[in-house]
Amino acid sequence: MLNDLTIATAAERLRRGELSAVDLTRAALDRIAATEPALNAFLTVTADAALTAAADADAALKRGAAAGPLTGIPIAVKDVIATRGVRTTAASKILEGFVPSYDATVTRRLRDAGAVIVGKVNCDEFAMGSSNENSAYGLTRNPWDLARVPGGSSGGSAASVAAGQALAALGTDTGGSIRLPAAYTGIVGLKPTYGRVSRFGVIAYASSLDQVGPLTRDVTDAALLLGVLAGHDPRDSTSVDRPVPDYAAAIAGGVAGARGLRIALPREYFAAGLQPDVERAVRAATDVLRDAGAALHEASLPHTEYGVACYYILAPAEASSNLARYDGIRYGLRAPSTGGLLDLYRDTREAGFGREVKRRIMLGTYVLSSGYYDAYYLKAQKVRTLIRRDFERVFADADVIVTPVAPTTAFRIGEKTADPLAMYLSDVLTIGVNLAGLPAIVVPCGLDHAGMPIGLQIVGPPFGEEAVLRAACAFEAATDWHALRPPDVAGREAPR
Amino acid sequence: MKLTVDQVRHVALLARLALTPEEERELAATLDQILQHMETLDRLDTTNVDPTAHIVAVDTPWREDVVTNAADTDALLANAPARDDDLFLVPKIID
C-alpha cells in the first residue's frame, strides 16, 4: 500500500523511478476521501495544488535535477501554520476564511525541500487542548477507536499520519501537543528544543513555549523532517543561530546507538496514577534499552507536580496577549455590532472564540491583571526556573531521560470535556519539557488491554536532538511496535 | 478564594469579551477551581529564585533598518472584514 510507506522508502522509490509522485499523491488523496467521513482530520484538502506540485516533482525527478529530501512526498500541515494562498483558521471561527498572503518559514522549508502539501489538518482551536475536541469545525477521531480522542492539540496531524492520509504531518507542541497525539495514535512525534525551529508564520498560542515539529511513522522520518525544518531564521527573533547537525548520521547506529547511553528514569514520572498497562509497557521499553547496552539509573525531578499549575498560568497569560490581535478590524470575523469600537471588539471576540479559548483568555487576563501579577505570573516564572534546574541537575550525569507520555492511553470522546482541570492534568508528563524548552521524542512502545497505543517519551538536554533520536532509533530497531497500524476506517461513518 | 461573577465581568471587560450570563456563571466556577489548583505553587519558597522568561539566552538580534519585504496591500486587505479602497473600515470613533 502506497499510503503505508515511510518517507525514506517512498523517496528512494521515487528516485529510482519505481513510483511517481502523482501516483503517491493520488493515493493519499483517495485515502483522505475514503477515511474523512470517519476521522474528520482535515479542514482543507488542497487536491489541485497537490497534484500540480506532484507533477512538478515528477518532472524534476525525470530531469535528474537535484531532488530535495522531500521531493514528491505528501505531507499534511496543522492549521495553525500559515500557508500562502491556502485557508488557515487555527480551527477557530474567528479566522474563518482567512487566507495568508505568505508562507510560514516551516511551510517554505517544506516546499523548498520538494514536499507536496495535501492540506491543512484539524486541531484544538488555537492549539488549546489535549483532545482535539475544541475545534470549531468538529472533533477528529482516533483511527484506532473512533469513540476515542486522537489527543490534542495536533490531533488531526496525528490521525492523518496514523490512518495513511499523508506520509507525515507538521504539528506544534506548547504543552505536549505533538507528543500526546503521537502516543495516542501509535506514531512518532518530535518536539525540538525551543528556538531550534522558526515560529515565523505560526499562529501564536504561548510564544515562550510553542515549537513546531514532525509527526511521522518512524524515527528515521522524524530525523529527516527535523533536518528540513531546523535552522536559524532572522524573521523569528527567538530562533537560535546555531549549526544544524546531521540528524541522519545520529541514527545511523541503529540498535547499537544505545550502547553506553546514560538514561535517567525520574521517579516522579512513574508515580501513582499511571495506568498499569502504561507503566508495564514503559518499564519493558527501558529493559529493551538496557539490553541494547544503555546504562539506566533512577533520578528525581522534584518539581514535576507543579508543572501543570505553572503552565496553566504562563500559557494562558501569553495567550491572552497573543489573542488580543483578533479584533475584527484587519482580518477574520467581524460580528454585526451597532455600538462603537469597544462593542465591536467585544461582540466579535464573543462570537468568534470557542469556550476553551475564552476560558484561557480569561485566566490569562486575570493572572496578569493589577494586583495578581506577582502572586500568579511572577510566581510561575520563578517555579519555571526550579523546573528547569531539576532537568539541568539530571542531565549532569544522563544523556537522555525516559518517561511515559501520559498517565493513560487515549480517553473516550466527551469523557473529560466537563472538567477542564482533569483535562489539563492529562499533560502532566509532557509539560515540564516545554517549561524547560527541551527536545523530546515519542515512539510507540506497546498496546493496552483495549488495543490502544502506548508511547515512550525520550527527553534530551537543550539541543540534544541527536541523543534523543539515537535512543529512539535504538529502541525502534529492537522492537516492532512502530510497524503496527490501526484498523482500516475507509468507508466507515463517524459513530454518533 | 471564591471568584465572583462581578470579578468575572471585570476581567471579561479587560479581555474584550462580551460574555453571556450563562458563560459568566460557568467561568466563575471553573476558573475558581483552576485558580485553587494554581495556589499549590504557594507551597514553594521562591524568595531567591530568578524568574525564567525565556529558556534560551539569545542576544537581541540587530539588523540594518532597511525594508526586506514589500507589503502586498491587496493581499493583506483581501482578508479585511470591511475595507474602503486601500483602507480598513472601522466604526466612527469621534463625533
Nearest CA distance, A419 vs chain B (angstrom):
8
| A303 has pLDDT over 90 | yes
- Among A118, A187, A144, which Cα is nearest to A492's? A144
User: In angstroms, rounded to a whole number, what is the distance separating the alpha carbons of residues A324 and A175?
Assistant: 21
Contacts of B29 (CB under 8 A, 6+ apart): none
- Among A119, A147, A109, A152, which Cα is nearest to A133's? A152
Q: What are the helix (H) ranges across A16-100?
A: 21-39, 47-63
Question: In Å, what is the CA distance from A209 to each residue of A92, A101, A395?
Answer: 20, 25, 20
Q: What percent of chain A has pLDDT over 70?
A: 100
pTM to 2 decimal places? 0.97
B positions 44-83 inside 8 Å of A (CB): 44, 46, 49-56, 58, 60-61, 63, 72, 75-76, 78-82
Biggest alpha carbon–alpha carbon distance for chain B: 58
CB pairs under 8 A between A and B: 164
Tell me the per-residue pLDDT of B26-36, one tens digit each, with 9 for 90 and over: 999 999 999 99
Confidence grade of residue B1 (pLDDT, cut at 50, 70, 90): low
Confidence grade of residue A421 (pLDDT, cut at 50, 70, 90): confident
Q: What percent of chain B has pLDDT over 90?
A: 68
Tell me the per-residue pLDDT of A14-25, one tens digit each, with 9 for 90 and over: 999 999 999 999
Tell me the per-residue pLDDT of B35-61, one tens digit each, with 9 for 90 and over: 999 999 999 999 999 999 888 777 788
Beta-carbon-side half-sphere exposure of residue A422 (alpha carbons within 13 Å): 9
* A93 tagged catalytic: no
Nearest CA distance, A415 vs chain B (angstrom):
17
Q: Is B29 on the interface with A (CB under 8 A)?
A: no
Helices vs strands, H then E, count in chain A = 16, 11
Tell me the per-residue pLDDT of A58-95, one tens digit each, with 9 for 90 and over: 999 998 877 789 999 999 999 999 999 999 999 999 99
Contacts of A427 (CB under 8 A, 6+ apart): A130, A175, A176, A180, A308, A311, A406
User: In angstroms, rounded to a whole number, what is the distance separating the alpha carbons of residues B87 and A298?
Assistant: 62
Annotated catalytic residue within A130, A153, A160, A198: A153
Q: Is A339 on the interface with B (CB under 8 A)?
A: yes
Q: Which of A343, A344, A365 lies at the smallest CB-CB distance from B14?
A: A365
ipTM: 0.95
Residue A3's pLDDT is 86
Tell me the per-residue pLDDT of A132-143, one tens digit each, with 9 for 90 and over: 999 999 999 999
Query: Nearest-5° angle of CA A230, CA A121, CA A108?
Result: 35
Residue A493's pLDDT is 87
Tell me if A86 sits within 8 A of A111, measured CB to CB: no
3-state secondary structure of A100: coil
| A184 has pLDDT over 70 | yes
Question: In Å, what is the CA distance from A451 to each residue of A106, A184, A432?
Answer: 35, 11, 28
Q: How many CB atoms lie within 10 A of CB A325?
A: 12
Lowest mean pLDDT among A202-211, A331-340, B62-71: B62-71
Across A300-307, average pLDDT: 96
Mean pLDDT, chain A, integer: 96
Tell me the per-residue pLDDT of A230-283, one tens digit each, with 9 for 90 and over: 999 999 999 999 999 999 999 999 999 999 999 999 999 998 789 999 999 999
Tell me the per-residue pLDDT of A149-166, one tens digit each, with 9 for 90 and over: 999 999 999 999 999 999
Tell me if A201 sits within 8 A of A106, measured CB to CB: yes
Tell me the per-residue pLDDT of A329-382, one tens digit each, with 9 for 90 and over: 999 999 998 888 999 999 999 999 999 999 999 999 999 998 999 999 999 999
Across A317-328, average pLDDT: 97
Lowest mean pLDDT among A201-215, A481-495, B6-20, B68-82: B68-82
Taking an 8 Å cut-off on Cβ atoms, the answer to whether A349 and B18 are in contact is yes
Phi/psi of residue A172, nearest 5 degrees: -130, 150
Residue B54's pLDDT is 81
DSSP of A439-460: -EEEEEEEE-TTS-EEEEEEE-
Cis amide bond preceding A370, omega within 30: no
* A177 tagged catalytic: yes
User: In angstroms, rounded to a whole number, what is the distance separating the alpha carbons of residues A468 and A459?
Assistant: 6
User: In angstroms, rounded to a whole number, what is the distance separating the alpha carbons of residues A154 and A160?
Assistant: 10
